[in-house]
Amino acid sequence: MKKRITRVILLLLATALAAWALPALVKKATRSPERYPFIYYSSLLKELCVIDYSDDDTPLSDLSGKKYTTAQFDSLLPLLNFRQLMADGRLPDSIDGHAVTPPVLRAASFVFRHYPATVRGPRPALHVLFESMPRRVGLEMPGDVFRLDDKIEFIDCETNRVNGEKSARFQQTLEKRGYRFPARWNAGNPNPRKAYDEGYFSLDADGRLFHLKMVNGKPYARDTRASETVDVAAFSVLEVANKRFYGFLFGKQGEVYILEERDGGYPLARLDIEPFDLYRDQLTIMGNLLYWNVAVTNPSGRAYYALRSEDLAQVAEHRVAHRPDTWERAAGWFFPVYLTLDDPDSAYIYPRLHVTGAWFHAPLLLLAPLLAGRRGRRVLYAIYILITGFAGLLALLALPDTFTKKSRKR
Amino acid sequence: MENIIQCEHVTHYYGDRLIYEDLNFEVQRGKILGLLGKNGTGKTTIINILNGYLKPRAGVCRLFGEEMSRLSPATKARVGLLLEGHVQHTYFNAEQIERFYSRFFPHWRRDAYHALLEKLHVAPTQKISTMSCGQRSQVALGLLFAQDPELLVLDDFSMGLDPGYRRLFVEYLKEYAAAGQKTVFLTSHIIQDMEMLIDDCIILDYGRILLHEPTRHILDHFRRYRFPSPAIGEVEGMWHAGPAGDHWEAYSFLPEEEVARRLAHAAGELTSERLSLEDAFIGLTGKY
Amino acid sequence: MIQAILYKEWIKTRRAVLLAAALLAGYVAYAAIHTGQLFRVDGAVATWANMILKDAFPLPAALRWLPLLTGVLAGIAQFVPEMTNKRLKLTLHLPMPERRVLSVMLLYGAGTLVALYAATILAAWGILARYYPAEFLAGFLWRALPWFVAGVVGYLFAAWTCVEPAWTRRASNALVATGALAACYLDAPAGGYLPMLPYLALLTGAGFCLPFYSAARFKEGAQ
């Protein structure tokens, strides 16, 4: 190992570390989270309204800026505030011509969230299949877990052994229903804290989406036939109280559907929103009896949609553009390139190179001749600092033998 | 004669402090050369540079014709190195360290090592870290004799040794060098021992070599002269003139008649003395 | 001659190696008790549910730092004695190419650690395999692997820092080492580190090269 080679290795390592750690520290010191307003569709005003809970007197304003008092806020957004209206004894009998009762409102309300990290990360390999028709109220952990890849197998928790008999039953059912192994992925909700269980949705080797659940201890499997209309990219199960649908289905073209439950069939209904990028966009849906409030957030900003619950047609839309914070501006100044190892939109750890393309750190180059003793190195150091900015400068400083030995020459 | 050690134009600084400027010397095969100098004149620094453990600001040293920073394994096998303070791997015991080193040298003389250890009552299983300074030095020197190198480089071998040990090692070294055209390069603080041992003498002053002569030459020709009063100024060929009690002293390599002539203006009786190497050293370097 | 170097390294580090082995063995024993207790008290169903719902790690948390601790310990035990009284001069004076001497020393240390870690992983695997299916075991391995890599990298960086002759540079080396090791300890779900493994291999490679740089500086007498 020649000394010069090891020195270059050290320089590269120190630069990489500085290009990771320095920006991370600056980020930590300067980053403030993007604060988008909370926007909800008013079924009375028939428009999107901005809610600011920190404003005690006038929490509500419409998009034109008109302010409303708390009492007005409650009654203008009855679908959001029905619990408050109920407590005040002000809940109307009908909203927009629809008869409402608290149970009806409650059953239709749901919140759904999608984060890119759930699809950009390791997928769970073991799943929990609950009994869909439990004899008693509430769900109980079943005492086994299952894997579904090139076959389906149930593994008993107590013995840590495959339950051959149960596995064979499910295997046969899946095969009989035309499921072709191996599975591409399985989507379900293993958390027992939910109203009921609709089992799993599994994409088979042919790209067909199957519904798998356990009813009275027996396997139940069906081809949803969703793949006949959509190229399925992902599915997210949501057990909504009113059992209207099974969950959200994402198509490879950026479409978002719900997979509805109707007479044993699985009709799709498309959300009337702009194409959605599963791997980059965050999605929040707050549904109520009449309207769904959809927010799609990505690096360029947030888009708000109000959809009619009945047919998911868009009734209102609003956009808020992303505003760069101190960190993003600082990065452009000091870090022409930098590294991150993690990413809020991914569960994976690996180095990601960011090129900000801003080279305002050019004054640093003046330091290169001070650093480099030998004339031949000055150009080299200047180029290195030009490419790497502060990170490279720091790495050069951290290295022995960078400085001149001028003072020692006599 | 073949030059075993060659140093050419060595210049070195620690920071801004000059250690040597343009140092040149060589050591021929079969010679025992002693490097003498006051503290801080860079004796250990020379040894470090010789063995490639310090890159001087300028200049080059060669051992067996090979440049010091790139000594080949074969050359290293021909050089026995004793570090200042008899440094060795102290986590070994006396037997283990012999086993370790024996694998590296084809002409390993196991007996030489054990003979020395027995002579000095070191148990084979004694751990080096628990040994006394003297015992440790025996292990270090014993290993060198077992290695049987053509060149021995000893940095302050007599450090911490009592007179008996010192005398013993001086005898060992003499015998060793005489046995087969071995070359020895050593430094020491105890100049008495050197007198019996070394063929050639390099005396270092701050920044330069003061003198490089055969020891015999120094002992035969270097004298101390005493004379009563008046101070003399700088006299060519006279070293370190100064008062000593009610007399004056000065040192010189010049013959007595010549000294008498040069000191003619210093009235009175002139006496001359032969010197031991230690006195000669002080005469040459001054008493601080 | 290589055997002689290995012999020296063994004599020098045997206490530290035995200590590291005892620490790891103690951990495995504790892990066995811990796991048994978990299944007795909480039950298999709750424990498995915890793994699925919370991506829980099945072993006591000390495993995060244990490899790093043993790695740095090994590095210190092996290279501090070389640096006291600059004994490395004796080692480099051996009639063997200097790079080979240092390579053998580093491979001894890294090899010993890898062997200890492999034994630890196998033993832990053996214990866990009685309780958990293969998917959980794989998750355990992927989760713990960066920590074991940190042990080897920590050893190499400790060697690099010890061999460095100048104290100020030792400090900056330690800083670089801390930064590089931090990359092994980021929060990630089981399997989240998989794409990072090639880069950790690169880091290990770099860690192996750096002691040669310090050794070259040592030879030049850098201060």
pLDDT tens by residue, A372-389: 666 677 778 888 888 888
In the three-class reduction of DSSP (H, G, I as helix; E, B as strand; rest coil), residue A213 is classed as strand
Look at B13 and A408 and tell me if their CB atoms are within 8 Å: yes
Residue B164: pLDDT over 60: yes
Stretch A69-75: mean pLDDT: 91
pLDDT tens by residue, A391-403: 888 888 878 766 5
pLDDT tens by residue, B74-132: 999 999 999 988 899 999 999 999 999 999 998 899 998 998 888 878 888 999 999 88
Residues B43 and B172 in one domain: yes
| pLDDT score of A408 | 39
Residues B176 and B76 in one domain: yes
Report yes or no: A79 and A290 within 8 Å, Cβ to Cβ.
Answer: yes
Spell B18-36 as b/e; 16+ CB within 10 A means b: bbbbebebbbeebbbbbbb
Q: What is the helix (H) or strand (E) element at residue C166, kind and residue range?
A: none
Residues B195 and B279 in one domain: no
Cα–Cα distance measured from residue A103 to residue B77, given in angstroms and rounded to the nearest whole number: 94
Residues B213 and B252 in one domain: no
Residues B207 and B253 in one domain: no
Cα–Cα distance measured from residue B139 to residue B120, given in angstroms and rounded to the nearest whole number: 10
Name residues 22-51 of chain C within 8 A of A (Cβ): 44-49
Cα–Cα distance measured from residue C94 to residue C101, given in angstroms and rounded to the nearest whole number: 8
Which of chain B's residues have a Cβ under 8 Å away from the Cβ of A401? none
| pLDDT score of A358 | 65
| pLDDT score of B115 | 87
Q: What is the DSSP letter of A241?
A: T
Strand partners, B10: B23
Angle (CA) A147 A203 A235, round 5° = 100
Mean pLDDT of chain B: 87
Which pLDDT band, with edges at 50, 70 and 90, does B231 fall under?
Answer: low
Q: Which of A4, A5, A6 to mutate to test the interface with C (most CBs of C within 10 A)?
A: A6
Give the relative orientation of helices B133-147 and B163-179 as an angle to the nearest 10 degrees. 0
| Integer CA distances (angstroms), A112 to A36, A47, A187, A288, A345, in order | 18, 22, 15, 12, 17
| pLDDT score of B188 | 83
Cα–Cα distance measured from residue B56 to residue B19, given in angstroms and rounded to the nearest whole number: 10
pLDDT tens by residue, C127-144: 999 999 999 999 999 999
| pLDDT score of B196 | 83
In the three-class reduction of DSSP (H, G, I as helix; E, B as strand; rest coil), residue C143 is classed as helix
* Long-range contact pairs involving A314-320 (C-beta distance under 8 Å, separation at least 24): A314/A272, A314/A273, A315/A41, A315/A46, A315/A291, A316/A41, A316/A46, A316/A47, A316/A48, A317/A48, A318/A39, A318/A48, A318/A63, A320/A36, A320/A37
Q: Positive or negative, the Cα torsion across A342, A347, A352, A356? A: negative
Cα–Cα distance measured from residue C60 to residue B228, given in angstroms and rounded to the nearest whole number: 90
Q: Which residue has the tokens 């207790």?
A: C37
Which pLDDT band, with edges at 50, 70 and 90, does A360 fall under?
Answer: low
| pLDDT score of A406 | 40
A408 touches chain B (CB under 8 A): yes
- Percentage of chain B beyond pLDDT 90 is 43
Spell A357-375 as b/e; 16+ CB within 10 A means b: eeeebeebbeebeebbbee
Q: Positive or negative, the Cα torsion across C191, C192, C195, C201? A: negative
Stretch A175-197: mean pLDDT: 94
C179 touches chain B (CB under 8 A): no
Residues B147 and B238 in one domain: no
| pLDDT score of A274 | 96
Name the minimum distance, in Å, from the CA of A408 to any CA of chain B.
6
Residue A361: pLDDT over 80: no
In the three-class reduction of DSSP (H, G, I as helix; E, B as strand; rest coil), residue A194 is classed as coil
- Percentage of chain B beyond pLDDT 70 is 95
Residues B180 and B232 in one domain: no
| A338 CB-near residues (< 8 Å, 6+ apart) | A19, A20, A22, A23, A331, A353, A354, A356, A391
Residues B151 and B175 in one domain: yes
Cα–Cα distance measured from residue A38 to residue A316, given in angstroms and rounded to the nearest whole number: 15
Strand partners, A256: A250
Query: Radius of gyration (Cα) for chain C, nearest Å?
Result: 19
Which pLDDT band, with edges at 50, 70 and 90, does A233 fall under?
Answer: very high
How would you list the strands of the sheet with B208-214, edge to edge? B79-82, B151-155, B183-187, B32-37, B200-205, B208-214
Residue B177: pLDDT over 90: no
Name the minimum distance, in Å, from the CA of A176 to any CA of chain C.
27
**pTM score of the predicted model:** 0.93
Closest residue by Cα to residue A140 from A192, A179, A64? A192
| pLDDT score of A407 | 37
In the three-class reduction of DSSP (H, G, I as helix; E, B as strand; rest coil), residue B203 is classed as strand
C201 touches chain A (CB under 8 A): no
Cα–Cα distance measured from residue B37 to residue C5, given in angstroms and rounded to the nearest whole number: 37
Residue of chain C whose Cα is closest to the Cα of A127: C52
In the three-class reduction of DSSP (H, G, I as helix; E, B as strand; rest coil), residue C159 is classed as helix
| pLDDT score of A409 | 36
Q: Residues of B at the A interface (Cβ-Cβ below 8 Å)?
A: 13, 15-16, 57
ipTM: 0.94
Residues B243 and B186 in one domain: no
Cα–Cα distance measured from residue A295 to residue A256, given in angstroms and rounded to the nearest whole number: 13
Bigger pLDDT: A141 vs C113: C113
Q: Positive or negative, the Cα torsion across B12, B18, B21, B25? A: negative
Q: Which of B55, B57, B69, B70 to mutate to test the interface with A (most CBs of A within 10 A)?
A: B57
Which of chain B's residues have a Cβ under 8 Å away from the Cβ of A407? 16
Stretch A158-166: mean pLDDT: 95
| pLDDT score of A393 | 84
Q: Which domain holds residue B235?
A: 222-285
Instruction: Answer left, alpha or beta for residue B21, where phi above 0 means left and psi between -120 and 50 means alpha.
Output: beta
Stretch B136-146: mean pLDDT: 90
Residues B119 and B189 in one domain: yes
| C209 CB-near residues (< 8 Å, 6+ apart) | A1, A5, A6, A9
Mean pLDDT of chain A: 90
pLDDT tens by residue, A122-150: 999 999 999 998 888 888 889 999 999 99
Extents of the domains making up chain C: 2-220
Which of chain B's residues have a Cβ under 8 Å away from the Cβ of C220? 54-55, 69
| pLDDT score of B288 | 60
Angle (CA) A321 A324 A329, round 5° = 160
Nearest to A125 among C135, C169, C180 (CB): C135
Q: What is the DSSP letter of B127?
A: B
Look at A141 and C45 and tell me if their CB atoms are within 8 Å: yes
The domain that contains B51 carries what CATH number?
3.40.50.300
Which pLDDT band, with edges at 50, 70 and 90, does A13 fall under?
Answer: very high
Which pLDDT band, with edges at 50, 70 and 90, does B260 fall under?
Answer: confident
Residue A405: pLDDT over 90: no
Name the minimum distance, in Å, from the CA of B52 to any CA of chain A.
15
Look at C175 and A20 and tell me if their CB atoms are within 8 Å: no
Q: How many domains does chain B have?
A: 2
Residues B39 and B87 in one domain: yes
Cis peptide before B56 (omega within 30 of 0): no
DSSP string, A34-49: --PPEEEEETTTTEEE
Which of chain C's residues have a Cβ under 8 Å away from the Cβ of B51? 89, 93
Residues B116 and B207 in one domain: yes
Name residues 58-87 of chain C within 8 A of A (Cβ): none
Q: What is the DSSP letter of B93?
A: B
Residue B190: pLDDT over 60: yes
Which pLDDT band, with edges at 50, 70 and 90, does A332 fall under?
Answer: confident
| pLDDT score of A109 | 94
Stretch B187-192: mean pLDDT: 83
Bigger pLDDT: C157 vs A98: C157
Residue A263: pLDDT over 90: no
Stretch A319-325: mean pLDDT: 90
Show which of B192, B217, B242 is a domain's final residue: B217
Q: What is the DSSP letter of C132?
A: S
pLDDT tens by residue, A274-296: 999 999 999 999 999 999 999 99
Residue B154: pLDDT over 90: yes
Nearest to C216 among A3, A20, A349 (CB): A3
Report yes or no: C105 and C12 within 8 Å, Cβ to Cβ.
Answer: no
Residue A236: pLDDT over 50: yes
Bigger pLDDT: B180 vs A167: A167
Instruction: Decide the pairing of beta strands B183-187 and B32-37.
Output: parallel
Q: Positive or negative, the Cα torsion across A368, A371, A376, A381? A: negative
